[in-house]
Amino acid sequence: MSQIVGVSGSLRQASYNSALLRAAQELMPEGARLIEGSIAGIPLYNGDEEAASGLPAAVAELKQQIANADGLLLFTPEYNNSIPGVFKNAIDWASRPATDIGRVFGGKPVAVLGASPGGFGTILSQDAWLSVLRTLGARPWHEGRLMVARAGSVFDDQGRMTNEQMRDRLKTFLAGFAAFAGAQSG
């Protein structure tokens, strides 16, 4: 069974991106499983702190999840037309020490998707991730793209995806990515 790790780039309890991740867990194709990684508890990166104390436990856990996975899904919000700082910070920590980048991210199949209350989904944030993924040596999946615009009309008050058309699009996206990740690992 293929194991994919999904990470929501928001810390908000009622995050649309965390809701999108939960919906994705329900819609994974047969033979693939999506586990949730977390950025909660990851402090701001500080090289002095890393040198003095090593990696914080939350970073070590996320980093190991990514390294062990057959693929990585980044559920990204969009803040000020780009990557949320808290999410980028978590990935920066996971790339430490630099000698581990290849083990954790090298050749790793990655896809970026996201949800936003605005009308453009997360197109600018998704595009901003591409240079980061290139630097990390990851293998982005370019055959699919999923941007959930006007997320308030896609999810109910409990964070359940209620829009059937979007559920179908998400299911198709996940099947394509799982096939891509499976082909890379096998």
pLDDT at 5: 98
Q: What is the pTM of this model?
A: 0.97
Q: Can you give the pLDDT at residue 99?
A: 96
The pLDDT of residue 69 is above 70: yes
Query: Looking at domain 2-185, which CATH architecture does it have?
Result: 3-Layer(aba) Sandwich (3.40)
Q: CB of 107 within 8 A of CB of 151?
A: no
Predicted confidence band of residue 186 (pLDDT cuts 50, 70, 90): low
pLDDT at 174 (0 to 100): 98
- Compute the half-sphere exposure of residue 17: CA atoms within 13 Å on the CB side of its CA: 30
Token pair recorded at residue 179: 């096939």
Identify the pLDDT of residue 185: 75
Break the chain into its structural domains and give their ranges: 2-185
Query: Residue 144: what pLDDT?
Result: 87
Asked if residues 122 and 116 have their Cβ atoms less than 8 Å apart, the reply is: yes
| Whether the Cβ atoms of residue 126 and residue 112 lie closer than 8 Å to each other | yes
Average pLDDT, the chain: 96
Residue 122: predicted pLDDT:
95
- According to DSSP, the residues that pair with 146 across neighbouring strands are 113
Beta strands in 46-157 (DSSP E): 71-75, 109-115, 139-140, 146-148
Torsion, Cα 14 181 109 176, to 10 degrees, reads -60
Q: What is the tens place of the pLDDT at every residue in 112-162?
A: 999 999 999 999 999 999 999 999 999 999 998 999 999 999 999 999 999
DSSP classification of residue 34? E
pLDDT > 90? residue 6: yes
pLDDT at 89: 98
pLDDT digits (tens, 9 = 90+) for 31-67: 999 999 999 999 999 999 999 999 999 999 999 999 9
